[in-house]
Structure 1
Amino acid sequence: MDESGERNASYPVALQSYDDVYIGRRYQRRRRRRRQVDDEIVSEMLLGQHVTFLEKLHGFRRFKRDSIHYKTLPIHVVGESSDGSSSKKHPYHFQWNLTPSMRIKEAWKAGFNASQVTVAVVDDGVDVGHVDLRSAFSPSVSFDFVRFAALPLPKKSEDTQHGTQCAGLVSMEGNQCGLGVGHGATLGAIRLLGPDVLNDALEGDALAFQKDMIDIYSISWGPKDDGKTADKPANFTQEAIKNGVMNGRAGRGNIFVWASGNGGQNGDNCALDGYVSNDPQLTQRDIQHLIVHSSNSSAIRHVQFLTNTAGHHFHPKVGFGLLDAHSMVTKAATWQTVGVQKSCEVHNLPSGTIDLSDCCDVSQIERVILHGTIRHPQRGSVQIRLTSPGGTTSELLPLRRADSTPDLIEWDFVSVHFFGERAKGVWKLDIISENDDNVQFRVLMKSLRVTGI
C-alpha cells in the first residue's frame, strides 16, 4: 500500500515483473487517525484467504543526474583543451559524450556495433516517436510504471526531457540530432520517474521488467547527491537487482549502469549512494573485468592516480580512468569468461586488523564489502580506510562536511580499488572521527566480505 489522497479506498494494481503481487493506494475520505485506517485495511486484507504477505510502502524521491560543463571541474581529458574546445575537429564535435580519447569512432570503424544488444533506459519517459529513436524503439521491452500503461511517453515539459536525452546518447540513429554510442541497439523505455513519489515495489518492479529480454538497464538517477544524503535501495529493489545480476539474460546476468552523478562538486561521494557490449554472451562480472582492463588512466590530466599491487591504476573520483571503447570491444571479442566467483567472509570484526591468512583463497579480488553501523552525532565527520595485505589503501567512507545527520545504520561500504590483488593476509581497518575530542561515538563493523576468483 502507498500513502496518497484524501478518500478511503484501495485500488490494487498487479506488478509487471512479479506473479500475484499487487500494490494499492490508500485514499482517506474523512479525517481519521492514520494508524486506525491502516489497521483496518491490514485486518480486512489479511482476512482474505489468498493474502500471504502485506507490507506498508513508504514514499521517496529519486533525482535525475544531468550533465554539467566540465570547465567548472579541475579534470580534463587528453585531446581536449581546458577551454572546452576540441584540439581536433570531428563530425560529432558538439557531442560531448564522443570525446576522441574514448576511441568510440575507432570501435565503429572496426565493425563493432550494438545490433545484438537491448538497452532499456529507466527514466522519466522517452519520446519514442523522435526521428532519431523510433527505428530503435521496441514496445516489448517498454512500459510506463507511472500510469501503468504500455507507451512510456514523457509529459510535455522541459523537466521531462531527461529520459529522451539519455536514450539519444545510447541509440540515436544519426538522422537529425546526432549519433548514439550504441546505435543499432534495440531501445527499451521504462518510465519510472514522474510527479509523484516512488515506492520500493514500483522501483523494484521496473528494474526487474523483462529481465530475460533486456541486456543493459541504463539508469541516470539516484538519491540526492547534495553532500549530506545517504540512501540505498530497499528490499524489493535490492532483490530485483540481485536477481537480475544472478539470473537475468538467461543466467548471464543483467548489466545495471548507474550514473554516479555530479555530487563531487558538493563534497559528496558515491560511498553514500547505495545504488551504482560487444559480446552478448559476457556475464556482468566479465564486464567489470573488461572495464578495469580497458580504462586509460593516462587520458585524464591533472589527476594523480594510485597503483594497487596488481598493477591497476585507480583514483577515488575517476575510477580506473577513461574507458577506451575500442580497446574494450576488441578485448571482448576474444575474452574468456572469468571463473566461478569465490568469496570469503569474516564476522564480528576486531578493531585495527583483520586476519584472512587462513580462511580466504580469493587469488584475484573483484570487490570488498565492509558491512556495519556507525553511531555518531555527525556521520559526515567519520572516515573509514581499509588497507590490503599488499599495502593498498582505499577510503571506504570519506569526510562529508555538509552531512550533519546522525548515524549510518546497516550500511555496505564497497571498494573495487583492490581489483586483482590477493586477499590472503592481514588487513588493516582505520576508523577516524574528525575533531572527536569531545564526541562520543560507536562503530560496529559486523562483517568483511571479499569476492573474486
Structure 2
Amino acid sequence: MERAFHSPHQTISFGPWLGHLGEPFMDFNDPFYNDQWYLRNTGQLGRQGYDLNVTWAWLNGYTGRGVVLSVLDDGLQTTNADIADNYAPNISYSLVKDTKSWNDPSPRIDNTFSNSHGTYCAGIISAVSNNSICGVGVAYDSNVGGVRLVDGKVTDVQEATALSRHIDQVDVFSASWGPTDDGTKVEGPARLTQIAFTEGVTRGRDGKGVIYVWASGNGGVIGDNCNLDGYTSSIYTLSVSALTDMGTSTFYEEPCASTLAGVYVGGEHTLEVAKDRQRRHLESLNVVVPELDGHCSHDFQGTSAAAPLMAGVVALVINANGNLTWRDMQHIVVETSIPTPHALQEPGWQTNGLGKKFHLKQGFGAVNAGRMVEAALHWRNVKPQKVIVVPLFSGHRTFHPSTWMNVSHPVDSSGVPPAQRMTAVEHAVANVTLIHPRRKLLTIFIVSPAGTTSQVLTHRAPDEDKDGFKSWGFMSVHFWGESPEGIWKVAIKDDSGETGYLKKVELTIFGS
C-alpha cells in the first residue's frame, strides 16, 4: 500500500521569570527561537495571542528528560546538527530495502529529491536547545530516534514492525502519514498492524502502553474525511489536527469525529486567503525545522507538523508523571483542551452530555501543554478499560433517497455487578456494513442516550466507489465522559437518489 504524509495561557506568577508581556518565559541562543511563535507567541505574526504554553512546563523542570520518542517516517538525518546530541541510535533502523544498512535510518538524499520530512518531525520534537543552531524542540531534553518506513510501498509486516519494535524502550511514537488524502480511500491497518497496535498499548512502557500520536490528515480542501483513515481513527492513536495561530481550523483540515484536539501550526483558515497570500508572495511563518543541508526554515505546516508538536507535548507530560497509561493521556487531552474565543466563532461547535464542547475539525479544542502537565501532576489513573457491544441491526433494509434510516438499541447494565459496570464512555465505534452505488453521498451519525449527535461520515465528492462499506468502524470521541446507559442510535441518510441496502450495524463502546 502507498503511504502519504499528512502534509491559551494560564495566569501564573513566576516572579523574576516574568517577561515584558507579563508571561513566564525562557530565552535561548538558538537563532530561530524567536520565530517559534507556537512555543511562545509574542506577536511574531502581528497578533499576540495563543501558543502551546510549553513555557509553564519548562520552567517547572519538565523538558522531556528521560523520555524516548520514535518518528515513523521517511528517515532521520542522524548527523543533523540540531538533532545529533539527542539522537537515540538504539531504537533507530530502516525498513526500506536498498543499499543502506538496516540500522541506518538516514533518509534518501539525491540530486532530484531528498527525504527531509522525518528529520523535520524529529527536530520539532527534540531539537537541542542553546546550541546556537536553528530552533528549540518542544521537548528539547528528550531523546529521539527514527524508523525509515515511508519511502515507496509499505507492507503490513513493515508497518507492524515499526509500531511494535522497541516498545519496551520507546515512550511515544509520532506518525504523520496514512492513506492518500484524496477523498477516495477507505483504508486502515491490516491484520498484523492491528495486532501491533494492541501489543503496543498493552505491553509497551511496562504495561502502561506506548502513546501513538497520529496526524489527522490534510484532505479537507477536497472533502476527505479522516474517519475513513483507520490509522488516525483507531482508538489506540491520539489523533490531532492543525490550527491557525488564532486557534481556528485550517482550510485543509479534514472533518473527523475521532480527532481529540488541535495543535497550533499556523496557516490560513480559508483557501481563498491562502491563495491570496500566495499570489502576493507573502512570506509564511509556520513551524521551524532543520534542513538537511544545515540551514533552517520556518514554513513547515499541515497536520504533519501537528503530530510531532503533540508528541513533544506528550513527552513533557510523561516527564511530569511517568505512571500515565495511554488512556490517561487521552483523558488529559480531553480534560485540558479548550477552544479559543476565535475558534468558537467558527460554525460547527456542539456540546456533549458532560458539557464539553467539541468540533469535527478541532476535537475538544486547542492543546495546552501547561494545563496538561499540571493535570498530570495530580492525576489518578483511570480504571481498566471496559467494553460494551451493542447489536443495532442485522438483516436487509433498503435505503430510500433523501430519507433517514435509524437503527437503535438500549444499553442496560442493571444486571451487571457494580464493579464491572461502565460509568463513563471514552470511544464509540459503529461498525457498518452496507451496499450502495454512491457511498459518496451518504452521511452517518451516532446519537448517544444523552442526545449528543456525532457525525462520523460526511459527503466525499471524489469518492466513486460503487460497493459501500464492509464492517468499517466509524469512531467518535464526542461522547467522552457520558454514561453509556440508555438508547444508542445510528442514523444514516442517503442523498444520492439511488437504491442501497443496509446489512449490519454493531456499536462497540469503550470506557471506564
Shorter-chain TM-score range: 0.7 to 0.9
SS of 1:349's partner is strand
Match of 2:109 in 1: 156
Matched, 1:207 2:148: no
Instruction: Give the CA deviation at 1:446.
Output: 3.8
Give 1:352's aligned amino acid.
Answer: V
Distance 1:397 1:354 in 2: 20
Deviations 1:322-367 (A, max 9, x none): 0010000111011110011112112252653221134783211101
Deviations 1:33-64 (A, max 9, x none): xxxxxxxxxxxxxxxxxxxxxxxxxxx11001
SS of 1:320's partner is coil
Match of 1:165 in 2: 120
Instruction: Give the CA deviation at 1:238.
Output: 0.8
Deviations 1:383-413 (A, max 9, x none): 1111111110000111112212122222111
| 1:165-314 map, 5 Å | 165-174=120-129, 175=131, 176-194=133-151, 196-276=152-232, 277=315, 278=317, 279-298=321-340, 300-301=342-343, 302-304=345-347, 305-314=349-358
Give 2:149's aligned amino acid.
Answer: L
Distance 2:377 2:215 in 1: 26
Match of 2:393 among 349, 355, 366: 349
Match of 1:61 in 2: 2
Give the number of aligned pairs.
373
Matched, 1:426 2:487: yes
Match of 1:29 in 2: none
Instruction: Give the CA deviation at 1:445.
Output: 2.9
Distance 1:95 1:126 in 2: 22
Is the CA contact 1:299–1:322 (under 8 Å) kept in the aligned structure 2? Answer: no
Distance 2:488 2:192 in 1: 33
Give 2:384's aligned amino acid.
Answer: V
Is the CA contact 1:299–1:321 (under 8 Å) kept in the aligned structure 2? Answer: no
SS of 2:340's partner is helix
Match of 1:449 in 2: 508
Question: Structure 1 pair 97/190, CA: closer, same or farther in 2 (3 Å)?
Answer: farther
Match of 2:374 among 302, 313, 330: 330
Distance 2:408 2:34 in 1: 51
SS of 1:237's partner is helix
TM (norm. structure 1) is: 0.78
| 1:111-150 map, 5 Å | 111-147=61-97, 149-150=102-103
Question: Aligned Cα RMSD in Å?
Answer: 2.1
Deviations 1:284-340 (A, max 9, x none): 000010000110213552324211111111101110000010000111011110011
Larger mean CA deviation between 415-424 and 393-402 belongs to: 393-402
Match of 2:472 in 1: 411
Deviations 1:149-182 (A, max 9, x none): 1110001155400000000110001331101111
Instruction: Give the CA deviation at 1:124.
Output: 0.6
Is the CA contact 2:75–2:107 (under 8 Å) kept in the aligned structure 1? Answer: yes
Higher relative contact order (CA 8 A, sep 6+): 2
Distance 2:135 2:61 in 1: 19
Deviations 1:219-266 (A, max 9, x none): 011111112221111011111011101111111101100111211122
Larger mean CA deviation between 114-123 and 374-383 belongs to: 374-383
Listed as ranges, the gaps of 5+ residues in structure 1 are 1-59, 67-76, 79-87
Distance 2:196 2:184 in 1: 27
Q: Identity rate of aligned residues, in percent?
A: 35
Is the CA contact 1:97–1:169 (under 8 Å) kept in the aligned structure 2? Answer: no
Instruction: Give the CA deviation at 1:214.
Output: 0.4
- The structure whose Rg is larger is 1
Listed as ranges, the gaps of 5+ residues in structure 2 are 10-20, 28-32, 42-49, 233-314, 395-405
Question: Structure 1 pair 394/159, CA: closer, same or farther in 2 (3 Å)?
Answer: farther
Distance 1:392 1:99 in 2: 36
Distance 1:178 1:131 in 2: 11
